[in-house]
Amino acid sequence: MIATSRRRFLAGAAAVTAAGFVPTRFAIGNQAPVKVGLMLPYTGVYAQLGENITSGLTMSLVGHGNRLGGRPIEYVKVDDESNPAKGVDNATKLVKGKEVDFVVGTVHSGVAMAMTKVMAKSPKAIMLCPNAGANALTREACLPNVFRTSFSNWQTGYSMGPVIAQRGHKRVVTLTWNYAAGQEMVSAFLDGFKAAGGGEPAEQLWVDFPDSEFQPVLTRIAALKPDAVFAFFSGSAAVKFLKDYDAAIDRTQIPLYGTGFLTEGVLAAVGKAAEGIVTTMHWAETLKSSENILFMGDFRKVAGRVADVFAVQGWDTGTLLYRAMDAVKGDTGATQAIIKAMEDAEVTGPRGVWRMSRNHNPIQDFYLRRVEKGQNLVEGVAVAQLEDPGTGCKM
Ligand code: PHB
């Protein structure tokens, strides 16, 4: 196995040299590692998301011999702190300073958009976004060397619109953090809600990111008595939000809905306060496919915890990486061929089947899920093979 990939790599390296590029290999048995930058939150409200993306990614690559196109892998980690103000500096450190071949990042939409400024000036490096849903990343700010393996914020919000409308809820309050992810999910939800006959929002409520002081907005919801609430919070703040909502609001009177992040990676900590919550998401831990069952078991063995959607996105980022690097036999200089392999990707994995859109964003199913006994149970498919419109992307 190793011998075969070495032979393939040697053939690739020779071609690269002949074409006049710097050889990526110094001597037999001494291959230069492929440098993979991990620009993710390892502290703060999204720390657990960063950890699970990292575990999913490394698990995927270890499963492929811990090599990319036959070459060893060197990871360079940066904690981006979910801080957009530091985004350009952190990405520059990795792409220019450390000269990484690939940069995997990140979770927060604002930080991801800062990263694209660096990627626009570094067309030889490739960015794989394993979470952040900023619509612009694969719309007006799309780039040939930027791919997303997760979702656009529009996809996650839009898929919830018909669900709430069809349940007959008319007066719906939206509640989220006041930054790109929350704003875009709410706006997309309202689009989907209106398209399904749902009408105008009763009120839009906002909390500053990354605050988790929810009493003022919960008091407002209790006073408004809407038919339902649509919310987005994530990470450690979602744990507190679900507990606070349950304590302050009678959920049989004012049910809570949201994008699936609300109930990802938090159910064990939240307990009963999450039971019955309905969300949409491009994955669920209870999907019965053999790929998902295998993934859940392996992740528990390797990471010692239950997988969540962030782990899945890390895993699929690994899938894209090793496939593209196999396609070029480890030649990181073959940027166009790497891009082509990623564009052609059709992945059958834990979330089901998805493929890369023209704008470099997954086209995928959004499942309807309800929390029961501490798990997101799948009730069906809310929207099949949903594609972000990609408006304004020219490439
Ligand atoms: C985002 O900022 O795009 C974001 C962050 C956390 C999530 C989902 C989206 O769970």
Residues 61-103 have pLDDT tens digits of: 999 999 999 999 999 999 999 999 999 999 999 999 999 999 9
Answer yes or no: is the C-beta of 109 below 6 A from any ligand 1 atom.
Answer: yes
In whole angstroms, what is the distance from residue 389 CA to residue 57 CA?
A: 28
Decide: 234 in ligand 1 pocket, CB within 6 A: yes
Q: Tell me the β-bridge partners of 386.
A: 364
Q: What is the pLDDT of residue 30?
A: 55
Closest to 131 in 3D by CA, of 196, 212, 56: 56
Q: Is the CB of 133 under 6 A from ligand 1?
A: yes
Query: Is the predicted pLDDT of residue 26 greater than 50, yes or no?
Result: no
What is the tens place of the pLDDT at every residue in 161-213? 999 999 999 999 999 999 999 999 999 999 999 999 998 889 999 999 999 99
Q: What percent of the chain has pLDDT over 70?
A: 92
Over residues 228-242, the pLDDT tens digits come to: 999 999 999 999 999
Q: What is the pTM of this model?
A: 0.93
Q: Could you read off the pLDDT of 342-390 as tens digits, one per residue? A: 999 999 999 999 999 999 999 999 999 999 999 999 999 999 999 999 9
For residue 261 and ligand 1, the question of a CB distance below 6 A is answered with yes
CA of 380 to the centre of ligand 1 (A): 23
Question: Residue 70 Cα, ligand 1 centroid: separation in angstroms?
Answer: 33
* Beta-carbon contacts of residue 45 (< 8 Å; ≥ 6 apart): 82, 210, 212, 234, 235, 236, 237
Ligand 1 contact, 164 CB (< 6 A): no
CA distances for 321 relative to 57, 68, 329, angstroms:
9, 7, 12
The mean pLDDT of the chain is 93
pLDDT at 236: 98
Tell which residue, 257, 315, 314, has the closest CA to residue 281. 257
- Give the span between the Cα atoms of 162 and 157, in whole angstroms: 10
112-123 pLDDT, tens digit per residue, is 999 999 999 999
**Pocket test residue of 159, 234, 266, 376 for ligand 1, highest count of atoms within 8 A of CB:** 234
